């Protein structure tokens, strides 16, 4: 039993930490100490550093939670001694020597892929017109329109950086798999989750599960916190 009361939420690419608000409210309402990382998403090293700064500020064991690209971040940052467990929320869980780029380079046959536009000035964005269908098909149109037009650019260095020591090889892991995901194919999510020997839960949700299904996300995080 880890008995962790500290939870750190790590957002993914193209969005910021504000999307965690509903999950934050649910966890804080249960008296967890919740922090939200605001990743620059320029380089993986920078995002790992931002995450480790919050980890080091905690007064005890930490449940480290990552959504999407945030899974890459927690895989590298989660080796910190204070991290007791990892929670992957529709997230990438790379192994040593893998990168975000290598994981998305060869999608499963017949599966939809993220509508990433060609890079401009060293950064990537998603196609605005395809954002809702791929990222957040179960959210209201006015929300997805705002999200599509407030994207945070993703640096190519964050895409290409390779994992050194994957935390899931030494820390217990949980995985929330989204069966209606248009960004990370569910079959790819399951393969990564099973490789990490994670405790897997499924939810019929888009990639934006932390917004559309906050109760399910919070429940899995609480499960990890209790060990």
pLDDT in tens, 166-208: 999 999 999 999 999 999 999 999 999 999 999 999 999 999 9
Please report the pLDDT score of residue 189 as a whole number.
Answer: 97
Please report the pLDDT score of residue 196 as a whole number.
Answer: 98
pTM summary value: 0.96
Q: How confident is the model at residue 127 (pLDDT cuts 50, 70, 90)?
A: very high
- Does residue 20 carry a pLDDT above 90? yes
What is the distance between the alpha carbons of residues 76 and 123, in angstroms, rounded to a whole number? 21
* CA distance readout (Å), 142 to 19, 51, 76, 146, 149: 15, 31, 35, 6, 11
Point out which residues pair with 83 in neighbouring strands: 62
- Does residue 80 carry a pLDDT above 70? yes
CATH superfamily of the 6-226 domain: Alpha/Beta hydrolase fold, catalytic domain (3.40.50.1820)
Please report the pLDDT score of residue 109 as a whole number.
Answer: 80
Please report the pLDDT score of residue 110 as a whole number.
Answer: 76
Report helix, strand or coil for 120. strand
Point out which residues pair with 132 in neighbouring strands: none
CA atoms within 13 A on the CB side of 118: 0
- What end-to-end distance do the CA atoms of the chain give, in Å? 5
- Mean pLDDT for the chain overall: 96
CA angle 195, 87, 5 (to 5 degrees): 145
Query: Strands 173-178, 154-155: parallel, antiparallel or unpaired by DSSP?
Result: unpaired
- Does residue 84 carry a pLDDT above 80? yes
Average of pLDDT values for 29-40? Answer: 97
- Does residue 108 carry a pLDDT above 90? no
196 burial level (CB within 10 Å; 0-12, 13-18, 19+): buried
Kindly report the backbone phi and psi dihedral angles of residue 181, in degrees, each rounded to the nearest multiple of 5, phi listed first. -80, 130
The total of other beta-carbon atoms located within 10 Å of residue 145's CB is 14
């Amino acid at each position: 039993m880890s008995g962790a009361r500290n939870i750190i939420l790590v957002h993914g690419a193209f969005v910021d930490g504000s999307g965690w608000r509903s999950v934050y409210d649910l966890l804080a309402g249960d008296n967890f100490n919740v922090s939200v990382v605001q990743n620059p998403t320029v380089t993986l090293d920078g995002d790992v550093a931002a995450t480790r700064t919050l980890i080091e500020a905690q007064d005890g064991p930490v449940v480290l939670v990552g959504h999407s690209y945030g899974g890459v971040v927690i895989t590298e940052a989660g080796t910190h001694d204070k991290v007791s467990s990892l929670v992957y929320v529709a997230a990438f869980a790379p192994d040593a020597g893998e990168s975000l780029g290598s994981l998305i380079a060869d999608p499963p046959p017949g599966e939809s892929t993220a509508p990433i536009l060609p890079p401009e000035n060293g950064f990537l964005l998603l196609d605005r017109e395809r954002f809702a269908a791929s990222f957040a098909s179960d959210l209201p149109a006015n929300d997805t329109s705002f999200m599509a037009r407030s994207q945070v650019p993703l640096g190519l260095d964050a895409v290409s950086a390779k994992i050194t020591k994957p935390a899931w090889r030494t820390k217990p892991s949980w995985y929330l798999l989204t069966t209606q995901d248009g960004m990370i194919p569910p079959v790819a999510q399951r393969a990564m989750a099973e490789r990490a020997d994670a405790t897997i839960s499924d939810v019929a949700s888009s990639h934006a599960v932390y917004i559309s299904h906050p109760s399910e996300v919070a429940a899995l995080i609480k499960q990890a916190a209790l060990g």
